[in-house]
Structure 1
Amino acid sequence: MKHTISIILAVISMSCLSQTKKKYNLDFETYNPRYLFAKDWMDWGDHSLEVDTLTVHSGNYSGKIKSRDNGTYGVIAYEIPANYTGDSITLEGYMKIRNVENGYAGLLLRIDGNNTPLAGENMENRNINGTKDWQKLSITLTYPEEAETIIVAGIMTGTGEAWFDDFVLTIDGQDIQALKEKEKPIYKAALDKEFDLGSKIEVSNLNDALITNLELLGKVWGFLKYNHPEIGKGNYNWDFELFRMLPEYMSSKNTNERDQLLLKWISKYGAIETCTTCQETSKDAVLIPDLSWLNEFGLNTELKNKLQEIYQNRFQGHHYYIGKAYTGNAEFLNEDEYYAMAFEDDGFKLLALYRYWNMIHYFFPYKHLTDKDWNRVLKEYIPIFVNAKNKLDYELACIRLIGEINDTHGFTYVGFNNVQNIRGMFYPPLKVEFIEGQLVVTDYYNPELKTVAKLKIGDVITAIDHKPIQAIIDSVGAYYPASNRAAKLRDISRDILRSNKKDIRVDYISNHETDQHHLPLYKQEDLNMRWYKWNSDKSYKFITPNIGYITLEFIKKEDIPEIKEIFKDTKGIIIDIRNYPSVFVPFSLGSYFVSSTTPFVKFSNFNRDHVGEFTFAPALEIPKGDVTYNGKLVVLVNETSQSQAEYTTMAFRAGANSIIVGSTTAGSDGNVSSIYLPGGLLTNISGIGVYYPDGTETQRVGIIPDVVIKPTIEGIKQGKDELLEKAIELINE
């Protein structure tokens, strides 16, 4: 008996030991009574999430998602530090669902680095719905080298219920519960905190000679940041090394003294070892590293040779400041936002300018398409940044600089609070757009405010607070980054009637007569600015018995099989992409319109081991589907069609019977790379180049329609959709 009891106690002891060795609560068995939820699990979305004790796969608890009225999705998620090495990562788990409709359920696995998703899968394409008993599911992804965070989760969209249990996460087949965590590298750069509270740099006597020297320093600083091996290893905080260099450098009396200071600075970081893996520039490169500036400053031979030596033996591999996202675009790492920056601090203002200029110089695939020679921009902006006296001046300087890359992806929403404040907190109850070159009322956000607004649809606004519309465009145009004029006017129109006053005077033309009115303005939350005219619960409908219509703004994955079935015998289909698609459909829907596998796009990607070089990847193809649509396809686009919308249009253009109708699109395509600037400012750039298979550019020019049709003021007055009417006409020809 004693022997039996001893065995039982030993088993219990081993069981307890086994349980305590579990580092992560992936089976929901550790319950947190304080929060009435499984310990360390998080809930995302607007569905109801809870721990269930009745429906379980094993043990005492499971995680449950249940739809709410008007809810759209729910995610029950667990975050794990990515303190592991390996090549592949697999999430397995059990799921049970009941009455899941108008959506899907599944596991979710995402790996993030530097606050950016590096890899991910949510099982949406498996379209799991309905009612199903417990089943084992799994996701396997390549494990990114730059991984910092692993998120495992269960997800459910639409309506119904879903239960999740017994998650197991493995890396290279080894359970993460038992894996030894890797030792985190401690970078010397991260330990350097000397200038966190200020650079102590003051730029005085900003004459032409000093501006030229500061331009050179900015280019040398960026070159060393991305090429010098010691910087790439993370051995130096390169922001603060700039601050250490600046005082003595700015006091140099002539070019010889300047060059000797630069040589002394470079020698501080040690001898350069021979690089045995550095490659010559690819003969097929779309863009090559631009070092032409080495010949523009009268550098002495020794300095020029030293910089060339660094270039020939540049850093290779995992870089402290540069990563590569799984989508192929550059990922900017370890860039401190310096939220507490003092805006009279000349050092941090120069740092912002240097940081942005060099990121564009080495990692922007469309640098060759900017209106200005990018090599000339740095010098122009040095006095603008140095002379910025406050945060508003600084924000405006940054926006102007961002505008110089002519990229509509250059958003300036996050951190630019002072600019947003001066644009105004009050908004009009009506929508305006530029039609035929004039500012026209095109709709109402709140129809019940028509009487007080007074202006009618089709009225032309000629002045705001006595200032002509063209004068307003001229004064604010530089502060709306855009690839082309159509996108710039689109963005200006969204703000042009904003104000910090509760009403503004507008001069306008209505029925050929001029008039003026004090237009009342409202807080954004009091207006229905996200109104929709789409009155169907489906993204598609018949607009005539023989013509189908699809809007990608509301399309869902589950719509696609139905679309192919109900529209298969129609004379034509109109796809409206005057919006941003809610679901990625280039392949799933695009394959319906090609009779054979057809190339439609190719990308240019940067080379992390040879910064400044971009090369083409092989063209992507639209695969032929099981069924090919035989009618005409007409795709509608305009300046609202941007990024994914433009990419999707390219996919549809691959069809033999497709016609693109409309006007210039936004001309901004390619996965975005985010850039943080000192002061907590966030902006983006198009991070990969997008081209047609023959190499034709899409950036800035956008998608060129086969048939150009634009709305007219008369058409707006009559409530016509002239693009849609043209599409119907083309199908009926």
Structure 2
Amino acid sequence: MLDDWRHQSWSSIVLELADAEVGVISASMISIEGSRHVELNPERRRRWGGVCKIAASILFAMLPLIAGIGLAEPSLQPISMDFDADPAGAPPSEWKKDAMAPDSDVSFTTVEDHSEQGGKSALLTVDGSSQNPVGAASRSFDSTSYRGRWLRYRAAVKTDAPVSTKIGLWFRANDLQKNVLVFDNMSDRPIRSSDWGFYDIVFKIPETAEKLTVGVLSSGKGKVWVDSATLTVLQPEEAGYDPPRPLTPRGLGNIESFAKLFGYIRFFYPGNDVESSSWDDLAIAGVGAVEDARSATELADRLQKVFATVAPAVRVYQTDRPLPAERPAPDPVGAKRIAWRHYGVKLDRSGRIPLYKSERVYLSAGDERKPLNIDLGGGVSALVPMSAIEGASGLLDPEYKVGPNTLDKPPGFRPSGADRTTRIADIVLAWTVFEHFYPYFDAVKVDWPSQLRTALARAATDHDDDEFETTLSLLVAALNDGHGYVASVYKPAFNVSIRWEWISGQLVVTGITETLRKSIAPGDIVAKIDGRPVGELIREIEPLVSSSTTQWRDTETLRRLATRKDAKPVLLQVRHADGRVSDIAVEPATTATALTQSSQHPPTEEVGSGVWYVDLSRITSAIINEHIADWSNAKAVIIDVREYPAPDAISVLAHLSPTAIRTDLFEVPIFTAPERRDVVYDGSGSWKLEPVSPIFKGKLVFLCGGGTISQGETIMGMVEGNKLGEIVGGPTAGTNGNINSFQLPGGYAVIWTGMRVRKLDGSRFQGIGVLPTVRAERSIEGVRAGRDEVLEAGLKIAAL
């Protein structure tokens, strides 16, 4: 189905996969067909269901999340890790090897016949009977002395492995609880060369880090030689990171002009591939090239040079000195003209989101797709071809000349939110995607050019990657997109293991883990978190939440309120039912640790005479098979869609009506011109469920609320549009449709809605959702008494 993915913090996927048994993880296990996946418990599915299929794009980066060996003594002096002192044929001292997939045969030995510096090197050999054997070597260090410092792990590497094998250095920092704090293994830039070359990984060590582990990894068969490894403390400028400083008015205008032209060329100039990571490098290089242009003449010249290698037919000029009119020559007889056609837009480099496509297509006869004259601001304009004759010289240049080596950065530079240039480039990259492809600007009243200026100004002065993540979140929040989310793929997320809801103006505990039952009870009110009033914290979080409705903003705000950046204990001031006030320390857990369900009922049970309750968030095929006869013969069935549906939930709907049940209208936008002009929609993604016996004979009642989003809203849209029964509770989130995603330099993943959904009658869905026919909500007294007033309201209707 089209909408069965929900956004999940990419960092939480990192930890989820890390907590799985490393030996059974391979790239083939997570696929779009879902042939094998890491199962989420119902509570996590409610919040983040479905997007694990996207996780395969970063799966390789998770493979060596294994423990290192004993810790070396800390030192702020460079640590040399060559292998000259180790006997040939013996394992290098202080290193360990690991076979990280079934049937992997791994060795790590000191050798004399290969060395970068004329002595000895170490050889990692990975073989085995499995299709994709995985092996790694690692060495660990105490990290306490490095906290808050920048570290560079550098080593010389060469390999004879085939192209299908991914080779990389890897680097990890863990806290005292062994949570992964930062991680990189060059998954996005694997080593291929059979000649010696130096490779770097640079990271800032978190303040809670206890252990660092460095190493080399081979995902696939092959030999990898490593030598001259070092671990060195760097100053930020040594890592190539420009410090924060404000943009001047002229500099801001220059980058605005660059951003506008960048989007036009990247997505509509008919010569290059929109997915290529070289666009990331071009954005970083372009920001550095144009910011300090002092005049329109200088800006036009620099823009022309920045884009010369990827768009040689573009002409940049001063607006007050227009290009002379040219009469285009007629196309040669039989020539085929091509242009971009974006079905949505394809930005996910992993290939794990197959719905969206971007391709150059042949234009029909008479479709000239003329060049566009674009006023870029700042006194400059550009003439950008929108089509080209297939194979025309000077228009199509598939070989990029811009790459990491062309950046004005030191060798081994790794884009980071700590770098001003990277931050500004990321805003350019993100803003242009939404400028040309966000499907709901007709429903969202936002000054998008003004959002660009605001985000650029903030990015220039952000002091670190955390501040910049906030800036990105504010930009995405302006879209009012309930799927909109920004996460760092390099950082874990931790959760306070408590379920809470906003009831009667209070933050009320509705679900807890067994370990907290002695100190906190459902119905307790959380007044402060780490000494700060809850209301104050909520006011800080709300502007960062992208949402088209207040009910989803409330739901998502409370989820983020429970999310922490580290595992430090969280101090809650709790007011109990008897009036006592307690300060309770709660240790956050990684998002791989489940939050408990607050439901007072099993997934299904008879809750009244002939009345059955079914919770679609916890339903399984086994439960369906066991109880389908009970449900079909019941006087009434109450179906709970307040939480995110389980994978088998949709099959229940086929039993609800003797006629086919239709979905809302799922429409993929087709873009052939910039700024969403002339957009048309493909509605073929809408679908219907044919009836399946046995059909439920009794009354149907459905429960929903502000946490009902995406696939849950697909179900509720079918209920509403096909008039299947009464709807009890509150309005749904108002966000549905397949997500899209892209990743930005510095490791930021951005998720958003890539298509339009309308109600079955053609009316607007975004920002409205499904409205209840009977309003009902929970109370603090009800929570304390173990009651579910929304379900009770459904029972009253079922009994009529």
Q: Same fold (TM over 0.5)?
A: yes
Q: State the 1:433 CA deviation.
A: 1.4
From 269, 274, 297, the counterpart of 1:228: 269
Contact 1:636-1:723 at 8 Å conserved across structures: yes
- Superimposed CA distance per residue, residues 126-157 of structure 1 (whole angstroms, 9 cap, x where no aligned partner): xxxxxxxxxxxxxxxxxxxxxxxxxxxxxxxx
Contact 1:547-1:573 at 8 Å conserved across structures: yes
Instruction: Measure the CA separation in 1 of the matches of 2:796 and 2:584.
Output: 39
Alignment of 1:407-422 (within 5 A): 407-415=481-489, 417=491, 420=493
- Structure 1 residue aligned with 2:475: 401
Instruction: Measure the CA separation in 1 of the matches of 2:641 and 2:530.
Output: 35
Q: Do residues 214 (structure 1) and 227 (structure 2) align? A: no
Q: Do residues 540 (structure 1) and 604 (structure 2) align? A: yes
Query: What is the TM-score when the length of structure 2 is the normalising length?
Result: 0.57
Q: Do residues 632 (structure 1) and 699 (structure 2) align? A: yes
SS in structure 2 at match of 1:115: helix
Q: State the 1:339 CA deviation.
A: 9.3
From 635, 642, 646, the counterpart of 1:578: 642
Instruction: Measure the CA separation in 1 of the matches of 2:592 and 2:339.
Output: 58
Q: State the 1:382 CA deviation.
A: 0.6
- Superimposed CA distance per residue, residues 264-298 of structure 1 (whole angstroms, 9 cap, x where no aligned partner): 5555533379773559999xxxxxx9x99945727
Instruction: Measure the CA separation in 2 of the matches of 1:636 and 1:452.
Output: 31
Contact 2:19-2:592 at 8 Å conserved across structures: no
User: Which 5+ residue runs of structure 1 have no aligned equivalent?
Assistant: 1-42, 50-73, 82-88, 92-110, 118-166, 168-180, 183-189, 283-288, 322-337
Instruction: Measure the CA separation in 2 of the matches of 1:643 and 1:340.
Output: 35
Q: Do residues 115 (structure 1) and 195 (structure 2) align? A: no
Q: State the 1:573 CA deviation.
A: 0.9
SS in structure 1 at match of 2:620: coil
Judged with a 3 Å threshold, the aligned counterparts in structure 2 of structure 1 residues 233 and 354 are, in CA distance, closer, same or farther, namely: closer
- Structure 1 residue aligned with 2:681: 615
Instruction: Measure the CA separation in 2 of the matches of 1:293 and 1:194.
Output: 45
Instruction: Measure the CA separation in 2 of the matches of 1:234 and 1:391.
Output: 24
2:459 partner letter: F
Q: State the 1:403 CA deviation.
A: 2.4
The number of equivalent residue pairs is: 537
Q: State the 1:211 CA deviation.
A: 0.9
Instruction: Measure the CA separation in 2 of the matches of 1:230 and 1:539.
Output: 54
- Structure 1 residue aligned with 2:506: 438
- Superimposed CA distance per residue, residues 636-678 of structure 1 (whole angstroms, 9 cap, x where no aligned partner): 1122222111112222334444122111323332222222121
Instruction: Measure the CA separation in 2 of the matches of 1:80 and 1:646.
Output: 25
Judged with a 3 Å threshold, the aligned counterparts in structure 2 of structure 1 residues 292 and 670 are, in CA distance, closer, same or farther, namely: farther
- Structure 2 residue aligned with 1:251: 292
- Structure 2 residue aligned with 1:726: 793
- Structure 1 residue aligned with 2:386: 310
Instruction: Measure the CA separation in 1 of the matches of 2:435 and 2:768.
Output: 21
- Structure 2 residue aligned with 1:484: 549
1:593 partner letter: L
Alignment of 1:96-135 (within 5 A): 115=57
Judged with a 3 Å threshold, the aligned counterparts in structure 2 of structure 1 residues 672 and 195 are, in CA distance, closer, same or farther, namely: farther
Q: State the 1:709 CA deviation.
A: 1.3
Contact 1:710-1:723 at 8 Å conserved across structures: yes
Contact 1:646-1:669 at 8 Å conserved across structures: yes
1:396 partner letter: T
Instruction: Measure the CA separation in 1 of the matches of 2:593 and 2:426.
Output: 37
From 312, 321, 330, the counterpart of 1:270: 312
Percent of aligned pairs with the same amino acid: 19
- Indicate the structure whose relative CO is greater, using CA pairs within 8 Å and at least 6 residues apart: 2
Q: State the 1:354 CA deviation.
A: 1.2
1:659 partner letter: E
Judged with a 3 Å threshold, the aligned counterparts in structure 2 of structure 1 residues 724 and 674 are, in CA distance, closer, same or farther, namely: same
- Superimposed CA distance per residue, residues 359-405 of structure 1 (whole angstroms, 9 cap, x where no aligned partner): 22223323444453323211111111111222222222223323222
Q: Cα RMSD (Å) of the superposition? A: 5.2
Q: State the 1:434 CA deviation.
A: 0.5
Judged with a 3 Å threshold, the aligned counterparts in structure 2 of structure 1 residues 566 and 315 are, in CA distance, closer, same or farther, namely: farther
Q: Do residues 427 (structure 1) and 493 (structure 2) align? A: no
Contact 2:416-2:745 at 8 Å conserved across structures: no
Instruction: Measure the CA separation in 2 of the matches of 1:401 and 1:350.
Output: 13
- Superimposed CA distance per residue, residues 141-199 of structure 1 (whole angstroms, 9 cap, x where no aligned partner): xxxxxxxxxxxxxxxxxxxxxxxxxx9xxxxxxxxxxxxx99xxxxxxx99x9999977
- Structure 1 residue aligned with 2:448: 374
Instruction: Measure the CA separation in 2 of the matches of 1:46 and 1:281.
Output: 37
- Structure 1 residue aligned with 2:522: 457
From 334, 353, 361, the counterpart of 2:427: 353
SS in structure 2 at match of 1:589: helix
- Superimposed CA distance per residue, residues 314-355 of structure 1 (whole angstroms, 9 cap, x where no aligned partner): 999x9999xxxxxxxxxxxxxxxx993244433211221111
Q: State the 1:705 CA deviation.
A: 1.8
Q: State the 1:256 CA deviation.
A: 4.6
User: Which 5+ residue runs of structure 2 have no aligned equivalent?
Assistant: 1-16, 36-52, 60-130, 132-162, 165-190, 203-238, 315-327, 344-368, 400-411
Judged with a 3 Å threshold, the aligned counterparts in structure 2 of structure 1 residues 292 and 573 are, in CA distance, closer, same or farther, namely: farther
Q: State the 1:599 CA deviation.
A: 3.0
Q: State the 1:80 CA deviation.
A: 14
SS in structure 2 at match of 1:667: coil
Judged with a 3 Å threshold, the aligned counterparts in structure 2 of structure 1 residues 529 and 208 are, in CA distance, closer, same or farther, namely: same
- Structure 2 residue aligned with 1:522: 587
Contact 1:409-1:672 at 8 Å conserved across structures: yes
Instruction: Measure the CA separation in 2 of the matches of 1:264 and 1:614.
Output: 35
Instruction: Measure the CA separation in 2 of the matches of 1:606 and 1:576.
Output: 32
Query: What is the TM-score when the length of structure 1 is the normalising length?
Result: 0.61
Instruction: Measure the CA separation in 2 of the matches of 1:391 and 1:660.
Output: 44
1:231 partner letter: N
Instruction: Measure the CA separation in 2 of the matches of 1:506 and 1:592.
Output: 47
Q: Do residues 297 (structure 1) and 358 (structure 2) align? A: no
Instruction: Measure the CA separation in 1 of the matches of 2:256 and 2:470.
Output: 20
Instruction: Measure the CA separation in 2 of the matches of 1:405 and 1:195.
Output: 39
Q: State the 1:230 CA deviation.
A: 2.6
Instruction: Measure the CA separation in 1 of the matches of 2:441 and 2:279.
Output: 24
Contact 2:481-2:753 at 8 Å conserved across structures: yes
Q: Do residues 594 (structure 1) and 657 (structure 2) align? A: yes
Contact 1:572-1:731 at 8 Å conserved across structures: yes
